[in-house]
Chain A
Amino acid sequence: MDILVTGTVLGGTYALIALGLTLQYGVARIMNLANGENLVLACFSAFWLLSTFAINPVAGILLIAPAAFLLNWLIYRLAMRPLVERAKDRGQLEVDSILATFGLMFIFQGVMLLAFGGGYFTYNFLSEPVTIFGANYGLNRLVALGAAALIAVCLWLFLYFTRYGTAIRAVAVDPASASLVAIDVPRASAFAFALGGALTAAAGALLSTFYTFDASMGVIFTMKALIIVIMGGVGDVRGAVLAALMLGIAETAVAVLVDPGLTLAATYTLFIIVLLFRPQGMFGRKPA
C-alpha cells in the first residue's frame, strides 16, 4: 500500500514531465534531451521564489510555467527552427536535434552549477504528515499529486475538446496534411514545444516540494521521461500517464523491496520489455 501511494506520487510527477516531452517530440518532432534541465531549473526557481519572496511553490507554478513557456518558445524559434528548415529528412533532424539539445543540456547545467553550485537542495513545504489507511504521508506529496492530476486533466481537455488542441493533434499525426487544411504548422510546433516546456517546469516546481534536487540530476529525469514516452507510445497522452504511473510504482517497489540503488535497473527492465515486445508503445497499433 505504501509502495502504491508513494509510487503514484512519483509517477504523477513523471507523467507531467513525460507529457511535456511527448508534446515536444510528438508534435514539434524535436527529441529534447535538455528537458530534464528545464525541470531542474524549475526546481531552483521554486526554491528561489519561496526563499526570497515567500511565494508558495504551488502558486509559484503560475509564474514558473509561463516563464518556461516563453523560454522554450525562444529555444524553438532560435535554435530548433533552423534545424527543422535545413533537415533533408526526419533522420537528419533527429540527429541534429539530439546533438543540439545535448548542447543545451550542458549549457543549462553549466549555468546552474555556476549559479547554485553542485550541492543538494531541499526545503520544507507542507511537510506535516497526513494519515491514509493507517500510514503517514507528507502533505506536500499529496498536494503535488493533486496538482499534477489537475494539470494533466486540463491538458487532456485542451487537446481533445478545443479547436487549437485538435490542430496540434493533427500536426502530430501528419504535418504535411495538417498544413493542407490551413493549420500553421511552424506556429503549432513552436506552441507545442513551449507548452511541453511549461508542463515540465510545472512538474519541476511540484517535485521540488518533496524531492532533494541538485544541478546535475536533469539527465536522469530526461531519460526516464523518454522511456515513459516510448512505453506509452509517442504522442499518446493516455499511454504516457499510465506508463508514468507504472514506472513510478515499479521504481518505488524496487527501492523498498530490493535496493534503492537499483531504481534505474528497474526502469531499464521495463524499457527492454517494451522494446522487445511492443516497440510501438503499449497502446500503439502495430505498424501496417
Chain B
Amino acid sequence: MSAVTGNEWRIAILGALALGAAALIPLADDGYYLSLSVNIALYVVLCTAWTLFSGPTHYISLATAAFFGIGTYTVGLGIDALPFALLVAIAAVMAGLVAGLVGIATLRLTGVYFVIFTLGLAELVRQVVTWLQTNFTTSVGLYVFTDFTETHILWMLLALAAVIYVTGWLINRSRLGFAMRIIGNDETVARHVGIDVARAKVILFMISGAFIGVTGAIMAPRFAYVEPPSAFNPLISFQVVIMALLGGTSRLWAPLLGVIPFTILFDQVSAHFPNHTSLVMGIAFMAIVYLLPRGVVGLARELLRPKAGKRLVAAEEATAP
C-alpha cells in the first residue's frame, strides 16, 4: 500500500520523459507548432483537472470556463500590483472557494442539478464581473503585460500537468481516493461505513476547480487584453467535456488520447470553416454518446482483450442496483 511499485516507477519515468520531450518543442519551432502545443498542453491540463473530479464521481461539470475565467481575471486585476506567482496562488484559492460554494449548494443532490448549475455558472460570474467593472472601475477590459513568451507559458503548463498527475496519484492512494472508489461502487454502503459523501465530493471538486483556476492564471499573459467575454468563454467548458470523454475518464491519463486529436481537429475547423464549429461540437458529442461511450481507452481495452473486457462489463453490470 505505502510502497511505490515498480510499475508506478516505470509510469513516472515515462511520464517525466514525455513532459521533458514536450518541453523541448520550442527549440524546434516557435511559430504555429509551438502555439498548437500550448493549446494542447492547455487542454491536457484542463481535461485532467476535470477528470480528477468527474472521473470518479460521474458528475458532468460545465464550470470549467468559470474557474478558468476567475484565474484569468485574478491575474488581470492584480498584475500591476503583485508578483505573478502570488497571483497564481490567489487564483487557486479563489477558484477553489467558488467550487466549494457550488459544491455545497449542489453536490448533495443528483447529477442533473449539478449540470444545470454549472451550465450557467460561467455566464453568471461573467455578468457579475462585468457589472462590478462597469459600476466601480473605469473600463471593462484589462491589460496584462508580462515578459512571458509562448515558451514560458508552455513550460508552466507542463509543470502544472506534472503537479496534477502527482496530485491525482496521491489522491488515489489517500483515504479520499479510497472513499471515492467506495462511493462509485455503492453510495449507501459508503455512508454506512462512515464516509461523509457530500464532503468528499466537495473537496475533490475544490481541488479540481483550483487547478483550473491556476490554468486560467497561467494563460492570462497570452491574452494580453482580458475582457469578460473572452475570459469566461463557455465553449471551453464544452470542449473540455468532449475531449475528456473522448479519451475516457477511467484513468487520469486517458483524456490525453482525446485532447490531442480533438485540439488539432478543432484548430483546423476554426481556421478553415469558422462557421461550422458548433456543428463539429454537436457531432462530437453525438459520436461520444453513440459510438464511444467508454472513450478511446475503453474501446481499446475491449478490442485488445475481448474476453477480459466482457467480464469487466459483466462485473460492472452486476454493480448496478
Q: Which chain A residues have a beta carbon within 8 Å of chain B's beta carbons?
A: 31, 33, 79, 82-83, 88-89, 91, 94-96, 98-100, 102-111, 113-114, 216, 219-220, 223, 226-227, 230, 259, 261-265, 267-268, 271-272, 275-276, 279
Check A103 against B58 for contact (C-beta < 8 Å): no
Check B111 against A94 for contact (C-beta < 8 Å): yes
Check A99 against B127 for contact (C-beta < 8 Å): no
B285: which A residues are within 8 A, CB to CB?
A: 99-100, 102-103, 106
Instruction: Please indicate which of the listed interface residues A227, A264, A276 has the most CB atoms of chain B within 10 Å of its own CB.
Output: A264
User: Which of B110, B117, B278 sits near A106, CB closer than 8 Å?
Assistant: B278
Check A106 against B320 for contact (C-beta < 8 Å): no
B117: which A residues are within 8 A, CB to CB?
A: 271, 275
Number of interface residues of B (CB under 8 A): 46
A83: which B residues are within 8 A, CB to CB?
A: 289
**In the complex with contacts A88-B317, A99-B245, A100-B285, A220-B279 CB distance below 8 A:** no
User: Which of A82, A100, A110, A275 sits near B278, CB closer than 8 Å?
Assistant: A110
**Binding stretch for chain A, among B12-20, B82-90, B118-126, B161-169:** B118-126
SS class, residues of chain A in contact with chain B: helix
Check B124 against A268 for contact (C-beta < 8 Å): yes
B198 within 8 A of A: no
Task: Rank and list the top 7 A-B pairs by shortest CB-CB distance, nearest first.
Answer: A103-B285, A110-B279, A106-B282, A107-B282, A110-B278, A103-B286, A106-B281
Instruction: Please indicate which of the listed interface residues A31, A99, A107 has the most CB atoms of chain B within 10 Å of its own CB.
Output: A99
B202: which A residues are within 8 A, CB to CB?
A: none
User: Which of B124, B283, B286 sits near A264, CB closer than 8 Å?
Assistant: B124
A59 to B306, CA, bound (A): 58
B288: which A residues are within 8 A, CB to CB?
A: 99, 103
0/1 interface trace, chain B 188-215, chain A, CB 8 Å (1 if under): 0000000000000000000000000000
B303: which A residues are within 8 A, CB to CB?
A: none
Check A272 against B113 for contact (C-beta < 8 Å): no
Check A279 against B109 for contact (C-beta < 8 Å): yes
User: Which of B119, B128, B278, B317 sits near A223, CB closer than 8 Å?
Assistant: B119
Closest to B134 in A: A261
A230 to B106, CA, bound (A): 12
Instruction: Please indicate which of the listed interface residues B135, B289, B321 has the most CB atoms of chain A within 10 Å of its own CB.
Output: B289
Q: Which chain B residues have a beta carbon within 8 Å of chain A's beta carbons?
A: 58, 60, 105-106, 108-113, 115-117, 119-120, 123-124, 127-128, 130-131, 134-135, 234, 238, 241, 245, 275-286, 288-290, 293, 317, 320-321
Task: Say how far A30's CB is from chain B's closest CB, in angstroms.
Answer: 11
Check B127 against A264 for contact (C-beta < 8 Å): yes
**In the complex with contacts A261-B127, A275-B105, A276-B105, A223-B116 CB distance below 8 A:** yes
Check B124 against A265 for contact (C-beta < 8 Å): yes
Task: Say how far A84's CB is from chain B's closest CB, in angstroms.
Answer: 13
Check A259 against B282 for contact (C-beta < 8 Å): no
Check A105 against B282 for contact (C-beta < 8 Å): yes
Can you list 9 A-B pairs, Cβ within 8 angstroms, ordered by A? A91-B111, A95-B111, A96-B293, A99-B241, A99-B285, A103-B284, A103-B289, A261-B127, A262-B131
Task: Say how far A284's CB is from chain B's closest CB, in angstroms.
Answer: 13
Check B109 against A106 for contact (C-beta < 8 Å): no
User: Which of A98, A105, A219, A262 sits near B128, CB closer than 8 Å?
Assistant: A262
**In the complex with contacts A113-B275, A264-B123, A272-B105, A102-B238 CB distance below 8 A:** yes
A270 to B131, CA, bound (A): 19
User: Which of A91, A223, A227, A275 sits near B106, CB closer than 8 Å?
Assistant: A275
**In the complex with contacts A83-B289, A268-B124, A230-B279 CB distance below 8 A:** no
A104 to B286, CA, bound (A): 8
Task: Say how far A259's CB is from chain B's closest CB, in angstroms.
Answer: 6
User: Which of B130, B131, B279, B289 sits near A99, CB closer than 8 Å?
Assistant: B289
B115: which A residues are within 8 A, CB to CB?
A: 31, 98
Closest to B319 in A: A88
A220 to B119, CA, bound (A): 9
Check A104 against B282 for contact (C-beta < 8 Å): yes
**In the complex with contacts A103-B286, A106-B279, A89-B111 CB distance below 8 A:** no
A267: which B residues are within 8 A, CB to CB?
A: 120
Closest to A259 in B: B131
Check B127 against A262 for contact (C-beta < 8 Å): yes
A265 to B290, CA, bound (A): 36
Check A89 against B321 for contact (C-beta < 8 Å): yes
A279 to B279, CA, bound (A): 35
A78 to B280, CA, bound (A): 20
